[in-house]
Structure 1
């Protein structure tokens, strides 16, 4: 199963379009307070405790990057290295884990420092995404080392795998909007089995891959790379990670960009409802662009999904398009307005009885290649989000939520409603919080970029993040556009404002709008 209630990396849209150690410069003064405390096991949540020198004095062995199971080796300008971090940040002298980093050094002479990127998920790989995304960040790469990493529990950084490829494909037959007691039993049995598979495979690591753990890893990386301040570009889920970092280490905040902003005040149910609203809004905008009324177009898609639920459609390679895969295939192109024609073609084919195009879109989203091999991003996604999310709605509570979810979105509401109980059902590790703490009093201004048509992180979350960061910290920039994320999506206004902030420290006026 694919869960959409969390936030997918910006690379998701890119993949679809592709197929159809020194201190800062004098510019640092523009970001405000330069005082940079040492990395520690606590931020504003508790007393600081200096880390052992075995961690802070690491010398990274940067070398050529190798191909991974998920991507080919990047060009020669890219270097990779491994950093040691505590498995348990409460015991920094204890067992360590490896974090895989990638960077391209600044091309110009007027270097500012490192610019760290997190592309979302949770579970998105920085090692595979950074070389592609660098084409969007060419101006930034003149004055910054472009740096990313696979967060703990992801890819090359102690990545998790909870079930095999055959088990993943078999689970695609599970009905994610169960209509009968038998389907409901199968739905929750599959959810519990997934958690047991994670526990059997990963054991201790499952309790140490939270967003807070990764935020602490970020500050260790900052110190080891020699940066007095954290300069950071967070996208989608990466905005939550950036907010948590700012809360823990407000005095270490340099220039932080948060693009496609998550609502930090929403709990697990709130996020599911927000996203049902966001995807339905994007679908409505798509339907209007095709000349259909939103209500009429939605009704046709609901009818199509009901027919597929009753009788899956034949597709390529002797596979079938189930309702679950159809929903995934519909959501996939909504991440980018440029992909809307792909959705038109896929829906037309499905109406004519051919599920191949929607299945191909679903496979792309689910990171399934032509040989039937699946990536592990969804495994990491689930392990991280279920450690973060404390809320565990019961089956009975979820049933009561379903009418509300269906009203918000007739297409996506039922799936996201059931997901509130199914995603972390019978999970072997308890969640940590209802919603993350992101208040960051005393931090330098943080630029938040919100897209009014964003399906995965609805625009309303941008204002909520600005409010929770605190007065004078969160600065809002609005783009009246479509798709997931704003920077590099075709708005010169957005790109210019972001580049001016990162390269010159120029903070735009709060509330600026780009149309």
Structure 2
């Protein structure tokens, strides 16, 4: 997900600021790497296939049930996009090209009081290159987090989805409520974020560090409440799903055609539960584990990150000569890396950062975990570890961590981590006491000497968050009445959303007949952008022609 005391917690994500050190490593890391059976029918697009294509390209022909006409019949005024804002996260390419259009959807702040206050939802699209007669409609993306800006993420990622655009889809994404320019949650300012990140260098394990962590938590939560308190109870995944159905309606699509990645799979499953009759062709890639057992889920994810780390260390050990800073023995490499992180708690490394920031243990852990999201970034991790181990400097690891946490070259943070906290705690306020969480530390450290201690810290959950359990809406996933099957895609070496969680999501949704599972035997978080021709072929066939693979198909 996606501010800088993280441990890997893809899907559920970071729940508190300092003590838990937990962030969903799910969205921004995408910028680091930057024979089937079943029926065949074209996706249902409803009115969208004949909808206007100009600057004001969408108008709901009928009002949306339960909403006043000014919301239910609203038009989208599409215009040339500007560059992403700091809240969204700056893009290396700056403003998208002229083919990109942006608009704003207006939704109720409280779906239980739709005639009350409203909030904006920032949208972006790139229209299909297919002839009008072949246009299917819109394909809506959520890239994960929670907390990732779809407006900032879709343009640099769009090339990966070029066949879908050419095949008849407008590519559409959005900033979910609480994210980026969609009434983005605001907590600490940039300077205070940097200060906290430098002040607490590792998971607190002394009374003094515990006191510091507690103070930081209080400061962070107070800032969130002061700056965004009215919004916090309303940023649930279920409310975002409701926003997404209004978006479908205003775009003119009879059904929602959807591509969700990481947390986006949770959002897609919740949508299918709430609006089963409106489910169009749907792909959920990098499937989140729906298991409500926090310990079981944390254990599974610790295993997932350790598996990915073992694969990286084996790759590093195979380098020519003495190029691997963790040595030629992958098992010993785990201890070398754990020792490096322990040393950084006491003695952070200098960097050339103009603001004087140092590489702490928690920042280094962020870099390591982020680089495990794709084998394309393994060599950057090796370079960063070479600098840290051999040169005593932390520039590359700090840079990798900044890419993940949404900090740009001017020292500005996106709001992805504040949104991640807010959305996860609105969905599920549960958590253990620090003492209860510590009781699981030995078990998790036994699974992973690198990640275990940090994963145990995530078990404390949302303690102190200013949203009560009575104000939350826990996600539900059952969708046996879905109008179209949901294709689940899971990668065997996925660190953030481990493969085993996809089977539990399949069961929660309604079984193989509702949600067939496509397996990819590979590395990295999510499969479609891996470049595997089998995966892209199966997914494209499902989205473009409605072809449904047999459950258990493997690539």
1:359-382: CA deviation from partner (whole Å, max 9, x where unpaired): 221122112222222221111111
1:419-462: CA deviation from partner (whole Å, max 9, x where unpaired): 221x5231111256696310101112110000011111111111
Is 1:27 matched with 2:45? no
Is 1:119 matched with 2:143? yes
How far off is 1:64 after superposition? 1.1
User: Which position in structure 2 is the counterpart of 1:78?
Assistant: 100
Within a 5 Å distance, the mapping from 1:103-502 to structure 2 comes to: 103-109=125-131, 110-142=134-166, 143-172=168-197, 173-291=199-317, 292-317=328-353, 318-352=356-390, 353-421=392-460, 424-431=462-469, 436-443=475-482, 444-471=484-511, 472-502=513-543
Question: Does the CA contact (< 8 Å) of 2:488 and 2:518 recur in 1?
Answer: yes
User: Which position in structure 2 is the counterpart of 1:94?
Assistant: 116
How far off is 1:79 after superposition? 1.1
Question: Does the CA contact (< 8 Å) of 1:265 and 1:436 recur in 2?
Answer: no
How far off is 1:330 after superposition? 1.0
**In structure 1, what is the Cα distance between the partners aligned to 2:478 and 2:29?**
31
How far off is 1:58 after superposition? 0.7
Question: Does the CA contact (< 8 Å) of 1:6 and 1:271 recur in 2?
Answer: no
User: Which position in structure 2 is the counterpart of 1:45?
Assistant: none
Question: Does the CA contact (< 8 Å) of 1:153 and 1:205 recur in 2?
Answer: yes
User: Which position in structure 2 is the counterpart of 1:508?
Assistant: 549
1:317-354: CA deviation from partner (whole Å, max 9, x where unpaired): 33311111111111121011011111112112211222
**In structure 2, what is the Cα distance between the partners aligned to 1:171 and 1:272?**
25
How far off is 1:223 after superposition? 0.7
Question: Does the CA contact (< 8 Å) of 2:25 and 2:370 recur in 1?
Answer: no
How far off is 1:484 after superposition? 0.8
Residue 136 of structure 1 aligns to a residue whose secondary structure is helix
Question: Does the CA contact (< 8 Å) of 2:520 and 2:535 recur in 1?
Answer: yes
**In structure 1, what is the Cα distance between the partners aligned to 2:75 and 2:44?**
27
Higher relative contact order (CA 8 A, sep 6+): 2
**In structure 1, what is the Cα distance between the partners aligned to 2:33 and 2:503?**
30
Please report the TM-score for the alignment, with normalisation by the length of structure 1.
0.91
User: Which position in structure 2 is the counterpart of 1:64?
Assistant: 80
Is 1:4 matched with 2:8? yes
**In structure 2, what is the Cα distance between the partners aligned to 1:30 and 1:106?**
14
Residues 1:29 and 1:213: Cα distance change in structure 2 (over 3 Å): closer
Aligned residues: 493
Question: Does the CA contact (< 8 Å) of 2:25 and 2:496 recur in 1?
Answer: no
Question: Does the CA contact (< 8 Å) of 1:9 and 1:236 recur in 2?
Answer: no
Question: Does the CA contact (< 8 Å) of 1:39 and 1:219 recur in 2?
Answer: no
**In structure 2, what is the Cα distance between the partners aligned to 1:154 and 1:3?**
21
Question: Does the CA contact (< 8 Å) of 1:391 and 1:434 recur in 2?
Answer: no
1:147-168: CA deviation from partner (whole Å, max 9, x where unpaired): 1100111111111220111111
How far off is 1:50 after superposition? 2.9
Question: Does the CA contact (< 8 Å) of 2:45 and 2:137 recur in 1?
Answer: no
Please report the TM-score for the alignment, with normalisation by the length of structure 2.
0.85
Q: Which moved more, 1:394-403 or 1:434-443?
A: 434-443
Structure 2 residue runs without a partner (length 5+): 12-23, 35-39, 47-61, 318-327
1:185-229: CA deviation from partner (whole Å, max 9, x where unpaired): 211221222111111001211111110110000101111111001
Residues 1:480 and 1:468: Cα distance change in structure 2 (over 3 Å): same
Residues 1:9 and 1:80: Cα distance change in structure 2 (over 3 Å): farther
1:356-411: CA deviation from partner (whole Å, max 9, x where unpaired): 22122112211222222222111111111111123121122112121122122211
Question: Does the CA contact (< 8 Å) of 1:6 and 1:385 recur in 2?
Answer: no
Residue 290 of structure 1 aligns to a residue whose secondary structure is helix
Structure 1 residue runs without a partner (length 5+): 19-24, 32-37, 41-48
**In structure 2, what is the Cα distance between the partners aligned to 1:374 and 1:157?**
16
Residue 477 of structure 1 aligns to a residue whose secondary structure is strand
Residue 33 of structure 2 aligns to a residue whose secondary structure is helix
Residue 214 of structure 2 aligns to a residue whose secondary structure is helix
Question: Does the CA contact (< 8 Å) of 1:9 and 1:124 recur in 2?
Answer: no
Is 1:52 matched with 2:68? yes
Residue 120 of structure 1 aligns to a residue whose secondary structure is coil
**In structure 2, what is the Cα distance between the partners aligned to 1:211 and 1:10?**
16
**In structure 2, what is the Cα distance between the partners aligned to 1:434 and 1:116?**
23
Question: Does the CA contact (< 8 Å) of 2:493 and 2:524 recur in 1?
Answer: yes
How far off is 1:483 after superposition? 0.8
How far off is 1:268 after superposition? 4.1
**In structure 2, what is the Cα distance between the partners aligned to 1:268 and 1:210?**
18
Pairwise CA RMSD: 2.1
**In structure 2, what is the Cα distance between the partners aligned to 1:270 and 1:383?**
23
